[in-house]
Structure 1
Amino acid sequence: MKIILCGYHWAGCRALDLLLEQATELFVYTHEAPYHVADLMALANARNIRFSCEKISVSNLPFDPDILVSVYYRYIIPGDVINACQQKAINLHPSLLPRYRGCSSLTWAIINGESEVGYSYHYIDETIDTGNILVQQNIPVYDWDTQGSLYYRVMFEALTTLLPVVQKVLAGEPGAPQQGTPSYYKRGAPYGGEIASQWPLEKVARFIRAMTFPPYPEATYQGESVRTLDDFKQLLDRDIP
């Protein structure tokens, strides 16, 4: 089976090792990684797998793939690439679609006080996160979860079902249309990473946890770092005349 993996971060690395169990030929599209992110480019090199940091396009496809798998890839897959895969292109999205389409889905879920999140494997079409669903699973949000802990819990569970999803696609399963009211969040730090003074303390506490994924920037208030609710309260007390 000829597989293209478009991936990044820890999840992309794990997907590579899983897909190697199924592939006769595999090619990776990825991104350069900072020191604190698991490096899919380095892993592909170590596994003797060809890779590219160019944005995927029909002109640079290495072969006609049987399936394309996207896991944390940061570019939109073009329509002509989807067609080259005979529509067998799938994405892992860390939300219960159609809710939280777009970016930072788990971050926003914590901020919004969701009690559960989840993941969705869906077919890729020419709009963002709108394709038919192959598999979804609900995962609880704990009141101690940070962005980091929730991301790893969701993605770990999601990758345990990657290979069965691949088999569904190869068997021609069409998936099911998305059901429910959609929501969408664009790329970028929620609220610019800044706490608003009028928020209730409950939202401030959620926002601090939602921004916690070291060494990425933590929440700020009036330009100062806020790592805990006590930090925020101290800054408030300082501002009281």
Structure 2
Amino acid sequence: MRAVVFAYHNVGVRCIQVLLARGVDIALVVTHQDNPAETIWFDSVAALCAEHGIAVTTPEDPASAELDQQVRAIAPDFIFSFYYRHMLPVGLLAHARVGAFNMHGSLLPKYRGRVPINWAVLHGEQVTGATLHEMLAKPDAGAIIAQTSVPILPDDTAFQVFGKVVVAAEQTLWNVLPEMLAGRIPRLPNDLSKGSYFGGRKAEDGRIDWQQPAQAIYNLHRAVAPPYPGAFTVLGATTYVIGAARMARRTFADLPAGLAVVDNSIFGVGNDGQAIAIRTLTANGNTVTPEQLQQALIDNPH
């Protein structure tokens, strides 16, 4: 069986390795040029393809006529998308003889759309996973082929959950691929009325609203903790970013919502008197000590 693969990130790397291990002939991989403005903490699809002698292209627009002609000439049995960042045009998908399939980082139909793992952590979900589904014109709307779930523990960050989802994606593809290659493709309903759709997130979305309960603030921290940009707040002209934190065991009903220094330790107090214990706080890339934060709080009172 011959495939054209659109791929990026760790999910792209691992799923390409699964295809190779199952004997799929990968005629072409379409990936992205790394953005120099982005923190690249993940593995390289292009480097993997170079190791295996797989042809690679990095078009800015997957809807280009040149790419369409290239895929048409290959006449693939399958088109796969593994964490490729753009929607693929329906005309291009039609070039796959058997079908076109995408690996999504949630348990569809929940969390359709962009950055599903971050959204799941932000909303305090206890489980997520990976779903292989058929690609249609509408994002993440096609029939479900297979999915694998993973737990989200109370203190897991989105980065930690992403590591689990990479393994879930690998397991999902490994387990169902023999049936797909044999022409027996399971198609389960993907009931969009039981799910949700979310857009992308920007660094500004990490701004902390201290009028929320502490658990909601903690979930925001977990959802955007490094290597993502981080949850942040501003005192005066200084932006403070939370690097590492946990829910605090003590309450602070007598303190206003916001950053606080108590017993030489840094806390973030929610509007419910609960708090997060902040182990690492940075400003301008430097670690902030309790003494430094205390002075900043004196200079910029609530």
Preserved contact between residue 91 and residue 124 of structure 1 (Cα < 8 Å): yes
- Percent of pairs identical after alignment? 27
Preserved contact between residue 95 and residue 119 of structure 1 (Cα < 8 Å): yes
Deviations 1:66-108 (A, max 9, x none): 1111111001011011111136111111111111000111111
Out of 210, 213, 218, the position equivalent to 1:200 is 213
* Distance (Å, rounded) in 2 between the aligned partners of 1:25 and 1:127: 26
Preserved contact between residue 108 and residue 190 of structure 1 (Cα < 8 Å): no
* Distance (Å, rounded) in 2 between the aligned partners of 1:135 and 1:161: 6
- Which ranges of structure 1 fall in alignment gaps of 5 or more residues? none
Give the corresponding residue for 2:69.
Answer: 59
Kindly state the Cα deviation for residue 231 of structure 1 after the two structures are TM-superposed.
Answer: 5.8
* Distance (Å, rounded) in 2 between the aligned partners of 1:66 and 1:87: 5
- CA-atom RMSD in angstroms: 2.3
Q: Which runs of 4 or more aligned residues in structure 1 lie more than 6 Å from their structure 2 counterparts after TM superposition?
A: 234-237
Q: 1:166 to 1:68 in 2, by over 3 A?
A: farther
Q: 1:25 to 1:142 in 2, by over 3 A?
A: closer
Asked if 1:164 corresponds to 2:175, the answer is: yes
Asked if 1:185 corresponds to 2:201, the answer is: no
Q: 1:136 to 1:160 in 2, by over 3 A?
A: closer
* Distance (Å, rounded) in 2 between the aligned partners of 1:187 and 1:218: 15
Asked if 1:75 corresponds to 2:56, the answer is: no
* Distance (Å, rounded) in 1 between the aligned partners of 2:98 and 2:19: 19
Asked if 1:13 corresponds to 2:13, the answer is: yes
Give the letter for the 1:173 counterpart. Answer: I
Preserved contact between residue 32 and residue 39 of structure 1 (Cα < 8 Å): no
Give the corresponding residue for 2:243.
Answer: 227
* Distance (Å, rounded) in 1 between the aligned partners of 2:219 and 2:93: 38
Give the letter for the 2:30 counterpart. Answer: Y
Q: 1:1-241 alignment to 2 at 5 Å?
A: 1-21=1-21, 22-33=23-34, 35-54=40-59, 55-56=61-62, 57-61=67-71, 63-86=74-97, 88-170=99-181, 171-179=183-191, 181-189=194-202, 192-214=205-227, 216-222=228-234, 223-229=239-245, 230=266, 232-233=268-269, 238=297, 240-241=301-302
Higher RCO (C-alpha 8 Å, min separation 6): 1
* Distance (Å, rounded) in 1 between the aligned partners of 2:88 and 2:180: 17
Q: 1:178 to 1:45 in 2, by over 3 A?
A: same
* Distance (Å, rounded) in 1 between the aligned partners of 2:185 and 2:171: 19
Give the letter for the 2:69 counterpart. Answer: S
Preserved contact between residue 7 and residue 81 of structure 2 (Cα < 8 Å): yes
Q: What secondary structure is seen at the aligned counterpart in 2 of 1:136? A: strand
Give the letter for the 2:230 counterpart. Answer: E
* Distance (Å, rounded) in 1 between the aligned partners of 2:127 and 2:204: 22
- Which ranges of structure 2 fall in alignment gaps of 5 or more residues? 246-265, 270-289
Q: What secondary structure is seen at the aligned counterpart in 1 of 2:74? A: coil
Q: 1:167 to 1:213 in 2, by over 3 A?
A: farther
Q: Which has the higher strand share?
A: 2
Q: 1:25 to 1:156 in 2, by over 3 A?
A: closer
Preserved contact between residue 148 and residue 172 of structure 2 (Cα < 8 Å): no
Preserved contact between residue 88 and residue 169 of structure 1 (Cα < 8 Å): no
Kindly state the Cα deviation for residue 163 of structure 1 after the two structures are TM-superposed.
Answer: 3.2
Q: What secondary structure is seen at the aligned counterpart in 2 of 1:26? A: strand
Q: 1:52 to 1:147 in 2, by over 3 A?
A: same
Give the letter for the 1:30 counterpart. Answer: T
Larger radius of gyration: 2
Give the letter for the 1:189 counterpart. Answer: K
TM-score normalized by the length of structure 1 = 0.90
Deviations 1:93-145 (A, max 9, x none): 11111110001111111111111112211000110000000112222110121
Q: What secondary structure is seen at the aligned counterpart in 1 of 2:94? A: helix
TM-score normalized by the length of structure 2 = 0.73
